[in-house]
Amino acid sequence: MVTKYSPIMTVRKYERFRGNNRFFCCGYLISARQIGIMVFVAILLVIVFALFLAFDSRFLIANVYPIGVGAIFPIIAAFGLFYSMAFLLKTGCTDPGIIPRAKTDELDYQLRQADDVIKQGTARYMTITVKGEQQKLKWCATCEIWRPPRASHCGLCNNCYDRFDHHCPVVGNCVAKRNYRYFYLFLVSVFCMCIYGMGCNVAVIVLASKMTNFGDALKTYPASVIEFAICGLGAVAVSGLACMHTWLIATMQTTNEDIKGTFNPRRQGRDVSNPYTQRNCCKNFLLVICGPFQPSLIDRRGVVDLDEEDAAERSDYGSTAGTVVHSTAVPGIPIESSSKPNDQSQELLNPVQSSSPASKPSTDNESPSAVIGSTEVEVHASDDETETHKLITNDVN
């Protein structure tokens, strides 16, 4: 009897990813679905550089004295194009900071411990205190997780992002914690190159006008006029964004927080301050631009276990392969996961301890309570129903 063996099918987790993202190079690169504008911007940068090499650089090399000094102009332009393209691709093809969805066992455990308000999908939030300021942890019904501070859900990409800034169609990706520095450096590099290109175009027209006249110079070098117009429009468009994000970094805010007025006393109607700022704009810049690069929380290259039918239905392919999936900036509030929770890991997944008095079923006259360090956490169910849960959390290395 001949035994037939079916070929082994290797399915990577990025192939079953639930978010609205595109993956390239076997899952190493990730972007949003809409990448047309990013491709257009990249092509436009290359076209402008090609025009500069074909016309302006040749004129400057031949007419700038002493002879040979003009060769530095195309070299500077080449470096500018390289950095602009590198920051554009790095921003558009990097995981912005996707927060993994709850895995199947984690979600089931949370729903078993949750009350009817969460099961019915009613909006809930927890209020925590960070450096004396109240911050809300909202429940995301799509990702089925408690969002960490400063996180938000992007409706276009259908993911929650850590320190979410905004969704940028120009770079074809969301801008969040892991690619924000590259986005800012892209804006600065493009702005500098636009100013540099405009300066070279003006130099070409001025030198050509001395040889003939201004009108003939424009007719002889139309490429310089086209480059000047493109660079001028680019400088106007990018300068505003660069200045705005410079101010946001100096004040340690995100675009999302600035629009919502999270740290604006007038918008909030009370005295609030930003607990995440370093109280120094230079330190804020160093932390955002030169701070440590956080690893990705999603295991895109992991192999899917096709034998797990429940996993295929619920799809935990966005979760990480390790134990710790996220650690917020708030000390003492780690969010942890494990593939198969036992009695000890279940206590870590759900901070409400079943063995403590805090987890006893609440009655009409009393509600469960515990403590996160010295931080009190309130879980708000609705306008007329408020339960106070004080959670006991252990740090796990």
Beta bridge partner(s), residue 167: 174
Number of residues that this document lists for the chain:
397
Token readout for 139 is 């429940």
Q: Are 163 and 169 in contact (CB under 8 A)?
A: no
Determine the 3-state secondary structure of 12 from DSSP: strand
The residue from 168, 174, 194, 231 that is catalytic is: 168
Determine the 3-state secondary structure of 58 from DSSP: helix
Residue (of 323, 329, 326, 364) closest to 345 by Cα position: 323
Stretch (H or E) spanning 259: helix 255-260
Q: What radius of gyration do the chain's Cα atoms show?
A: 27
292, amino acid identity? P
Residue (of 292, 272, 252, 391) closest to 332 by Cα position: 391
For the question of residue 168 being annotated catalytic, the response is yes
Token readout for 193 is 């190159």
Q: What is the Cα–Cα distance from 38 to 41, expressed in whole angstroms?
A: 5
Residue 129 sits at φ, ψ, to 5 deg, of: -115, 120
Give burial (CB, 10 Å; 0-12/13-18/19+) of 380. Answer: middle
Q: Which residue has the tokens 């330190």?
A: 283
Residue (of 336, 363, 339, 357) closest to 347 by Cα position: 336
Give burial (CB, 10 Å; 0-12/13-18/19+) of 137. Answer: buried
For the annotated catalytic residues, the residue numbers are: 168
